[in-house]
Amino acid sequence: GNSVTQMEGPVTLSEEAFLTINCTYTATGYPSLFWYVQYPGEGLQLLLKATKADDKGSNKGFEATYRKETTSFHLEKGSVQVSDSAVYFCALSQGGSEKLVFGKGTKLTVNP
Amino acid sequence: EPEVTQTPSHQVTQMGQEVILRCVPISNHLYFYWYRQILGQKVEFLVSFYNNEISEKSEIFDDQFSVERPDGSNFTLKIRSTKLEDSAMYFCASRGQGARTQYFGPGTRLTVL
């Protein structure tokens, strides 16, 4: 079945550092890919998405490119802030119901 | 901006009791979902619902679980006889017609004692 593998955390960075969180997927066909973020004590918020190969999703300085050849959707940000501290989930959706399949999540802590 | 809401935010119950978790999806959305997240683990799909019936369910969603859309706005998840292992955060999500993005509510933390 479909699955998502993402970099295990936790990840700790200093403010203004470069961030990469790796995400790869296994799926038949062409799933849609998402990054969701969960801030402490809150629910899941959509961060960005890409629905077809070579699409780049971007939001709040974060970017991820749908790479079909490497089945990857790595999340990047050039300069992280303390407010980016959260858990980041990579996910895919496919099929009639478009149910989401999530990775395990990566906890990011950004120190001032 | 429209959002998905869930009540209660935290529910504590005794093992064997029935619980109903409530969700109000975004008003013009047609597809509804429940997910759960056991503490420290990944978010898992439970069930999807469209046109007043279940469109897909996971192995987790056994006979103890049921979903209902009792009126035009609410979407509920019922657990008939709770077990300790049902303790988790339960998220509701909704999606519009033709869209790929699901919007999540803030979750209900269920604690079974």
User: Of the candidates A45, A98, A102, which has its C-beta nearest B100's C-beta?
Assistant: A98
* Residue B8 vs residues A45, A73, B5, B34, B105: alpha-carbon distances, Å: 19, 35, 10, 15, 11
User: Minimal CA–CA distance to B25: which of B97, B105, B101?
Assistant: B105
Kindly report which listed range (A37-41, B11-15, B79-83) carries the lowest average pLDDT score. A37-41
B95: closest CA of chain A, how far (Å): 9
- Mean pLDDT over residues B36-41, rounded? 90
Contact A93 B102 (CB under 8 A): yes
B43: closest CA of chain A, how far (Å): 6
Quick check: helix, strand or coil at residue A83? helix
User: Which band of pLDDT confidence, cut at 50, 70 and 90, is reported for residue A96?
Assistant: confident
- Mean pLDDT over residues A69-88, rounded? 96
* Residue B101 vs residues A47, A112, B78: alpha-carbon distances, Å: 11, 33, 25
A41: closest CA of chain B, how far (Å): 9
In this prediction, residue A1 carries a pLDDT of 81
Highest mean pLDDT among A42-46, A76-80, B26-30: A76-80
- Across chain B, mean pLDDT equals 94
User: Of the candidates A46, A89, A97, which has its C-beta nearest B48's C-beta?
Assistant: A97
**Contacts of B104 by beta carbon, 8 Å cutoff, 6+ apart:** A36, A43, A44, A45, A46, B4, B35, B91, B92, B93
Contact B35 A32 (CB under 8 A): no
Give the dihedral of Cα atoms B22, A105, B100, B7; nearest 10 deg. Answer: 10
Whether A45 and chain B come into contact, CB under 8 Å, resolves to yes
- Across chain A, mean pLDDT equals 94
CA geometry: angle at A7 spanning A17 and B38, to 5°? 115
